Structure 1
Amino acid sequence: MKFYDALQLDPAILKRKIAACDEKKEKAYYWFAMSVRSVLIVAAAIIFISLLSSVFGTDNTPMGVVLFCMILGIRFVNFEYCVKDSLVTLLAVLAILVLAPSAAAVIPEVFLIPLHFAAFFALLYMTTQRPEMGNGGLYSFAYIYLTGNPVTGEALVRRIFLALVGYLICGAILFAKHRDQHTATRFHHVVRKFDLSTPIHLWQLRMALGVSLVMTAGQVFGVERFMWMGFACASLLSEYPYSGKVFTRFWQRIVGAIAGSLAFFVLYLILPESLHALMGPLGGLCLGFCTDYRYKTAMNCFGALMLGAGIYGIHGAVILRVVDTVLGVTFGLIFAALFHRVAAVRFLSRSIEE
C-alpha cells in the first residue's frame, strides 16, 4: 500500500492491518502512517482554524473548528443523493448552523424546544441517510458546539461570511469527490421515504428530540457549559443501529470523562505553565490513535478543558466537565428508555404487523 493511501485510512482500519501483519517492518510502517496522519491532522487544524480566526475574529473560532471537521468528513461521506441537490442542502445546513444558535440565544424560552428540534432534525435528515458513516455525530457536534458559542451583531455578520467561505470549500470537495455517485436519487426521493417505522428515521427522531430537550434544559436552568451536557447526551443517542439499550455507552462515557479529566488535571499541575497551551493539541494527537469509545471520550476532554480552564480555573473546569457529562448521559439514558417504550408500542409494533 502506498504511504498516501495509508494516511487516508481510519485508525481502526490501520490497527486491524497492524494486527494482521506478521513482519515487524510492516507493523512499523502502519504505526508510522498512523503517527504521521495524526500529526498532519492536528497541524492542519491549527493552521486552518488560526487563519480563519485571524480574518473573521476569535469569536468565530468555533465556526472554524466546525468547518475543519466538515472538510475532513465530506471528503469521504456524502449525503446519499445527487450532488446537485447535495450542494443546495449543504447551503441550508450551513444556514442552520449559523442562524439557529444565534436565534436560540435571544428568543423566549418557550420557543427553544421547537427551534432546537426543527433545526436538529433538519440537519440529520439532510445529511444522515446512513448513520453508520458518522455524519450524525459530525453535524450534531457542529450544532451543539455552535449553540454553546453563539454570536450576535457584527460577529454574526462575520460568521455568515465565514460560512460562505466554508460553503465554497466544502461544496468544491463535495462536487469533486462525489459528483458521480447517487446520480438518480434526488432529495425529494429521500423526503418521500420518510417513515417512522424504519430504524433510521426513528433514530433521527430520537436524536433530534433528545438533544433539543437537553439543550433547552441546559439553557433554561443556566447550566454552565451546557453544551457539554449536549455532547454527552448526543453521544449516547447517536449509537446506531437504533436500540433502546444505551447502558453500555452510558458507563463508557462517564468513565472516559472522569479518566480524561483526571489525566488533564494531573498533567496541568505537573507541566510548567508555558506548556499548558500544548495540552489541547496533545489530546488531538492522542485522539488520532484511539479506536475505543472510552479512550476517544478521554482524549476529547483535553481540548474542552484547555478552554474551560481559562474561564473557570483548572479545578472548576474539571468538576464542571464531569458533572455536565453525568447530567447529559443520565438524561439521555432516561430519555432513551422512555422513547423506546413509546416507539415500541406505536411504531415498531406497526412495522411488525405490516
Structure 2
Amino acid sequence: MRFYDALQLDPAILKRRIAACSTTGEKAYYWAAMAVRSVLIVAFAVGFISFLSGVFGADNTPLAVALFCILLGIRFVNFGYCVKDSLLTLAAALAILVLAPSAAAVVPPFCLIPLHFGGFLLLLWITTQHPEMGNGGLYSFAYIYLTGNPVVGEALFRRGLLALTGYLLCGAILFFKHRHQHKTVRFRHVVRKFDLTRPVCMWQLRMALGVSLVLTAGQIFDVERFMWMGFACASLLSAYPYPGNRFTRFWQRIAGAAAGCGAFWVLYLLLPESMRPMLGPLGGLCLGFCTDYRYKTAMNCLGALMLGAGIYGVRGAVVLRMADTLLGVTFGLVFAAVFHSLVAVRFLPAPETEQPA
C-alpha cells in the first residue's frame, strides 16, 4: 500500500493492519502513517479555522470548526441520494445550522422545544439515512455547538457569509467525490421511506426529541456551558442500531470525561503558562490514535477545557465539564428508557437491525 493511501485510512483500520503485520518494519510503516495523518489533520485544522476566523470574526469560530468537521466527513460519506439533490440538501443543512441556533437565543422559552425539535429532526432526516456512517454525530455536534455559541446582528450576517463559503468548499468536494453514486435515488424517495417502523426513523425521532429537550432545559435554567450537557446526551442517544447499548455508552462517557478532566488538570498545573495553549492541539494529535470511545471522549476534553479554563479557571472548568457530562448522560439514559417504553415499542414490536437500503 502506498503511504498516501495509508494516510486516508481510519485509525481503526490502521490498527487492524498493524495487528495483522508479521514484521516490525510493516508495523512501523502503519504507525508512521497514523502519526503523520494525525499531524496533518491538526495542522490543517489550525490553519483552516484560524484563516476563516480571521476573515469572518472570532465570534464565528464555532462555525469554522463545524465546517472543518463537515469538510473532512463529506470526502467519504454522502447523503445516500443523487448529487443534485445532495447539493440542495447541503445548502439546507447549513441554513439550519446558521439560523436555528441564533433564533433559539432570542425566541420566547415556550418556542424552544418546537424550534429545536423541528430544526434538529429536519437536519437528521436530510443528512443521516445511514447513522452507522457517522453523519448523525457530525451534524448533531455542529447543531449543539452552534446553539451554545449563537450570534445576532452583524455577526449573524458574517456567519451567513461563512456558511456560503463553506458551502462552496464542501459542495465542490461532495460533487467531485460522489457525483457517480446513487444516481437513481432522489430525495423524494427518502421522504416516502419515512416510517416509524424503520429503526433509522425511530432513531432520528429519538435523537431529535432528546436533544431538543436537553438543549431547552439548558437554556431555560441557564446551565453554564449547556452545550457540554447536549454533547453528552447526544452521544448516548446516537448509538445505532436502535436502541443501542445505552448503559455501555453511559459509563464510557463518564469514564472518558473523568480521565480527560484529570489529565487536563495535571498537565495544566505542570506546564508553564506559555505552553498551556498547546493542550488543545495535543488533544487533537492524540485523538488521531484513538479508536476506543472512552479515549476519544478523554481527548476531546482537552480542547474544550482549554477554552473553558480561560472563562472559569481550571478548577471551575473541570468541575463544570464533569457536572454537565453527568447531567447530560443521566438525562439521556432516563429519556431513552421512557421513550422506548412509551413510543418505540408501539412501532417496533421486536428489536431489529435495519438492512442496508
TM-score category (smaller protein): over 0.9
Q: Distance in 1 between matches of 2:91 and 2:147?
A: 18
Structure 1 residue 209, shift from structure 2 partner: 0.4
Contact 1:244 1:337 in 2 (8 A): no
Question: SS at 1:349's partner residue?
Answer: coil
Structure 1 residue 244, shift from structure 2 partner: 5.8
| Aligned residue identity for 1:197 | T
Contact 2:239 2:245 in 1 (8 A): no
Equivalent residue number for residue 281 of structure 2: 281
| Aligned residue identity for 1:175 | F
RMSD between aligned residues = 1.1
Moved more, 163-172 or 336-345: 336-345
Equivalent residue number for residue 133 of structure 1: 133
Structure 1 residue 343, shift from structure 2 partner: 3.0
Q: Distance in 2 between matches of 1:214 and 1:63?
A: 21
Question: SS at 2:349's partner residue?
Answer: helix
Q: Distance in 1 between matches of 2:343 and 2:114?
A: 20
Which structure 2 residues correspond to residues 47-126 of structure 1 after superposition, within 5 A? 47-126=47-126
Equivalent residue number for residue 179 of structure 2: 179
Structure 1 unaligned segments of length 5 or more: list them: none
CA 1:152–1:25: 2 relative to 1, 3 Å? same
Which structure 2 residues correspond to residues 201-216 of structure 1 after superposition, within 5 A? 201-216=201-216
| Aligned residue identity for 2:243 | S
Contact 2:202 2:344 in 1 (8 A): no
Q: Distance in 2 between matches of 1:128 and 1:243?
A: 16
C-alpha distance after superposition, 1:187-212 (max 9, x if no partner): 01100000001100000000000000
Q: Distance in 1 between matches of 2:350 and 2:283?
A: 46
Structure 1 residue 346, shift from structure 2 partner: 1.3
Which structure 2 residues correspond to residues 315-326 of structure 1 after superposition, within 5 A? 315-326=315-326
Q: Distance in 1 between matches of 2:141 and 2:296?
A: 14
Question: SS at 2:54's partner residue?
Answer: helix
| Aligned residue identity for 1:28 | A
Contact 1:256 1:294 in 2 (8 A): yes
Equivalent residue number for residue 355 of structure 2: none
Which structure 2 residues correspond to residues 202-281 of structure 1 after superposition, within 5 A? 202-243=202-243, 245-281=245-281
| Aligned residue identity for 1:20 | A
Q: Spell out structure 1 runs of 4+ moving beyond 2 A.
A: 349-352
| Aligned residue identity for 1:139 | Y
C-alpha distance after superposition, 1:53-99 (max 9, x if no partner): 11000000001000000000000000000000000010000000000
Q: Distance in 2 between matches of 1:350 and 1:248?
A: 21
TM normalised by structure 1 equals: 0.98
Contact 1:197 1:350 in 2 (8 A): no
Structure 2 unaligned segments of length 5 or more: list them: 353-357
Equivalent residue number for residue 189 of structure 1: 189
Contact 2:81 2:182 in 1 (8 A): yes
CA 1:253–1:223: 2 relative to 1, 3 Å? same
Q: Distance in 2 between matches of 1:109 and 1:19?
A: 53
Structure 1 residue 344, shift from structure 2 partner: 4.1
Question: SS at 1:205's partner residue?
Answer: helix
| Aligned residue identity for 1:83 | V
CA 1:247–1:54: 2 relative to 1, 3 Å? same
TM normalised by structure 2 equals: 0.97
Equivalent residue number for residue 310 of structure 1: 310
Q: Distance in 1 between matches of 2:194 and 2:60?
A: 35
CA 1:342–1:270: 2 relative to 1, 3 Å? same
Contact 1:259 1:298 in 2 (8 A): yes
Q: Distance in 2 between matches of 1:102 and 1:136?
A: 21
Structure 1 residue 182, shift from structure 2 partner: 0.3
| Aligned residue identity for 1:162 | L
| Aligned residue identity for 2:186 | R
Structure 1 residue 137, shift from structure 2 partner: 0.3
CA 1:329–1:311: 2 relative to 1, 3 Å? same
Question: SS at 1:79's partner residue?
Answer: coil
Q: Distance in 1 between matches of 2:251 and 2:234?
A: 14
Q: Distance in 2 between matches of 1:82 and 1:156?
A: 31
Contact 1:233 1:331 in 2 (8 A): yes
Equivalent residue number for residue 343 of structure 1: 343
Structure 1 residue 246, shift from structure 2 partner: 0.3
Q: Distance in 2 between matches of 1:74 and 1:311?
A: 33
Structure 1 residue 349, shift from structure 2 partner: 2.3
| Aligned residue identity for 2:11 | P
Percent of aligned positions that are identical:
76
| Aligned residue identity for 2:200 | I
| Aligned residue identity for 1:66 | A
| Aligned residue identity for 1:229 | M
Q: Distance in 1 between matches of 2:57 and 2:171?
A: 23
Question: SS at 1:181's partner residue?
Answer: coil
Moved more, 337-346 or 246-255: 337-346
Equivalent residue number for residue 40 of structure 1: 40
CA 1:302–1:149: 2 relative to 1, 3 Å? same
Contact 1:244 1:340 in 2 (8 A): no
Q: Distance in 1 between matches of 2:293 and 2:244?
A: 19
| Aligned residue identity for 2:221 | F
